[in-house]
Every structure is written in C-alpha cells, then in structure tokens.
Structure 1
Amino acid sequence: MATVLVNNDNSMIVTIPERIMQHSKNIHTITIFVPQMYEGYDMNEFAAYIEIVPPNQKYRSIHLDANEVSRKEGFLQFDFEVTSDLTLFPGNISMEMTFVKTDEDTYKTYIRHTTSCSLLVTPIEKWSELIIDDALTDLDQRIALIEQGIKVASNLADKINSTKADNIKLDKETSELYLTANDNPIGDKITINELGDTLAEQTEDGLVPIIL
C-alpha cells in the first residue's frame, strides 16, 4: 500500500512508495493523509478530488470521500484503488489534490490545490529474450515458459484494449453508424438507410425503410 502525505504548505509527497507492476488491477491501494485543519478551514467540509495523469497521458479527476475513521489522529484519510487503465503502460502516475467548497449563504467558492507527486508503474520484464536456450536448466526453462506466457498475455491485453469496441458513433455528414475503440473507428460502417431496410425486411410489424 502506497502512502501519500499532503502538508499544510500544500506539498504532496510519497512517504511510503510501492512497486506497482504494469497491468496490475485493483490490487494496489493509494492512501492519502491530509491534515483536517488548514488555515482555519475544516477540510472535511470540502469536496476532495484526486487529479491523475497516468503514463498514457489521459487525464482523470476522481472524487474521493474521506474514510469515517482515519489511521492518523487529526488527519483525513482518503483511499483509492489503482485500476488497470492507470497501469496499462509503464512510467509515472502523476497526481495532485484539489479541494473545493462553496459557501451556501454567500455562494463564495474556496479552492485549494497541492503540488504533484508521482508513483512509478514498473514494466513487465522480458528476461526470456536474453537467455540462450542451451544454457537453461529444467527449472530455468519452466521459468522462461512462464515469462513467455506473461509476455503473450501482456501483448494480448494491449491488443484487446486497442480493438475492443467501447462506443458507437454517427457520422452526421454521411449518415453512417460505426463502432469505436479508444475513440478510433473499427469495423465496417453501415448507413442509416441500410439499417432501416434490414429492420423492415426482418420484422413483421410493417416497419418502413428510413430515408435521410
């Protein structure tokens, strides 16, 4: 479990690092401790957000709720799991905190930012590529096979992530529907007219072909 501390000078530092491996999912937890009082303000009255830039540079902002009980007296404790989208690629996970509060009477908004800190996502190593087959013992060969399996699984995970359909979009200029993966078009496009004709042919409810 990695531990991060937010100080009253708004610095954010990693006090207990953790080795986070590439493609890890929901196995690592990052705990953040924040002094409850800051400049006379109770930080428990603020909405807390962790802003994250993972190695793939896709920014995320996550709302965090403080734990009901903190392990450190006088501090708020926030926990969040490291999900697979943060460990897809090796490199640094950069993060910082933002706290926001709006006064219900005056509608005045208070915002507090911290500096950033980072945790390293360690790549899955490929030792098997560096060893000559003739030099391997039986145990070495079994380890190499396991390592090769990890490599195949890693490559497969990358391929699935880049080709798995996650949305459907409409091209308004051409009236075509198409699937996307990570916002990139995949598969064949189909026109609205073709879709309407197919639905009309395969139903008995008298659907009329759509013409746009």
Structure 2
Amino acid sequence: MYTFLIGNDNYITTTNAERIVQRSKLVNTLQIFVQNEYGNIIMSNCQAIMYYKLPISGEWKPNELMASETLYKDKYVEYLIPVDTWLTSEAGDVEFEIKFYNVSMNDDSNVKQYVRKATNGIIHIASSKDWSSSIADSMLDAVDQRIIQLMNLQKAQEEMITTTQAMLGTKADNIVKDDKTQEIYLTSDGKEIGNRIKDECDQDGVPVVDLDDSSTPDNPDDSNKVFDDVLEF
C-alpha cells in the first residue's frame, strides 16, 4: 500500500511506497492520513479533493476523496483510494496536492470559507516497457482486453468440459442381467444406473407366458385361440 501523511506544515510525506506499474488496474491502493484537529478546524468535516498531474500530458485533474467512517487510532482521518487507470495511464512521477474545503456560519449569519492546501505529493508509476517491449504502447490496452476475453473463453470451455463429463458419466454403455434376481439394469463405466426391470424371458430369450386358470378357455374348442396371439419368429 502506498501511504502518505499530511503534516501540520502542509507537506505530503511518503511513509510507505510500493511499486505501481503503468496501466495496472485496481490492484493497488493509496492511503492518506491527516490529523483530525488542525487549529480550530475539524478535518473530518471538510470536503477533500486530490488534484494530480500526469507526467506526460501535464494536465491537472481532480479526484474527490472519501474519508473512512472511523478515525485511525482516534486521531487521524484516513482516505483509501483504489488506484485505477486514471492514475496509471502514464509512466513517471505523478505530482499531486490535496485541498480541504469547509464552510461555517456564525451567530451574525456571516459565512466563513476555509481552504487548506497540502502539497508536494509524488506517486511514481513504473514503466511497463520492460516486459512488453515487443508490443507497441498504443496496442497495450487492446491486448489487455484480448487477454481477458481469452480467459473468459477458457473458463467457458472448462465449464463445458465439466458438463460433458457429467453427462458421459450417466450415459449407458452396457446392459447387465442379475442372475440371482432375474433383473436387468444398465451400467455406465461399470457402475449401475437407472432402475432395474424384471426379466420376463426364459434362458432362450422367449417371453414367459403364465397360463393360470383364468386364461383357460371355457370351450375346449377355443383352446387354440389362446395361442393365436403368439407369433413365432
């Protein structure tokens, strides 16, 4: 974490630095501390804005700061700033200063405007050319997006493979008969799947017909009709 302390002399001092690489996105954080009491002004009641200048374009830009809900060690106002491409787009030293604003009104309805300015903050952004010298700088953003797209595609393929394997794990590849129970069931990769069914055929594969008393014809002459529906192959 890149940490800064704003002293009562209104200088911004770096207390802990870390390497931030050009065009990195949301992997680093700036941490800024300022003592809550500054004379008769309570800094946590002020609106803080960070003004920064990129090293190449030289354009000053504002970034509103949001203070943490609680004071750090009951004494300091803390600002945590996620580092995005608005800060890392250009390599070099990013200069910044912070202004604090507050407005108050006394009993006579006189309005007082307060502005505190802290300066000399420096954030170093390391160049990414050392690992991407074979790619033109103008193409880096497009390459980064392409890499992310390829990663998404790879994840989709992995999910498809997992789904396919699960489907193959329940696909029948053999039919087995249990000689003890005379039941037939399906297997997949040697494992039983599905529901068993009763085998209604004899050892030669001919369907077994159970002729009980109810199937006996009343008329002996109709006995052949019982077998009229049995076809031989």
Which TM-score applies when normalising by structure 2? 0.55
Paired AA for residue 120 in structure 2? S
Paired residue total: 139
Q: Residue 72 and residue 58 in structure 1: after superposition, are their counterparts in 2 closer, same or farther (change >3 A)?
A: farther
- 1:107 Cα offset (Å): 2.0
For residue 108 of structure 1, the aligned residue among 106, 109, 112 is: 112
**1:23, 1:154 within 8 Å by CA — same for their partners in 2?**
no
Aligned AA (1:117): G
Question: Cα offset for 1:16?
Answer: 0.3
Structure exhibiting the larger radius of gyration computed from Cα positions: 2
1:54 and 2:54 correspond: yes
Q: How far apart, CA to CA, are the structure 2 residues paired with 1:97 and 1:112?
A: 8
Q: Trace 1:195-206 onto structure 2 (pairs within 5 A).
A: none
Shift of 1:108: 1.6
Alignment of 1:119-198 (within 5 A): 119-126=123-130, 147=131, 151-152=134-135, 154-157=137-140
| Separation of aligned partners in 1, 2:98 and 2:60 | 13
| 2:229 aligned residue | none
Note the alpha carbon deviations across 1:131-167, whole angstroms, 9 max, x for none.
xxxxxxxxxxxxxxxx45x74274413689xxxxxxx
Question: Aligned in 2, Cα 1:37/1:123: closer, same or farther, shift over 3 Å?
Answer: same
Where 2:111 maps in the other structure, the secondary structure is coil
Residue 35 of structure 1 corresponds to which residue in structure 2?
35
Q: Distance in 2 between matches of 1:103 and 1:88?
A: 38
Q: Unaligned regions of 5+ residues in structure 2, if any?
A: 144-233
Aligned residue in 2 for 1:17: 17
Counterparts of 1:7 and 1:103 in 2: how far apart (Å)?
24
SS at match of 1:86: helix
Q: Deviations over 1:166-190 (max 9, x none)?
A: xxxxxxxxxxxxxxxxxxxxxxxxx
Identical amino acids, percent of aligned pairs: 27
Supply the distance in 1 between the matched residues of 2:8 and 2:16 (Cα, whole angstroms). 19
Quote how far apart the aligned CAs of 1:31 are.
Answer: 0.5
The CA deviation string for residues 18-40 of structure 1, in whole angstroms up to 9 with x for no partner, is 11101111111101000000012
Contiguous gaps of at least 5 residues in structure 1: 127-146, 161-212
Report the TM-score when normalising by structure 1.
0.60
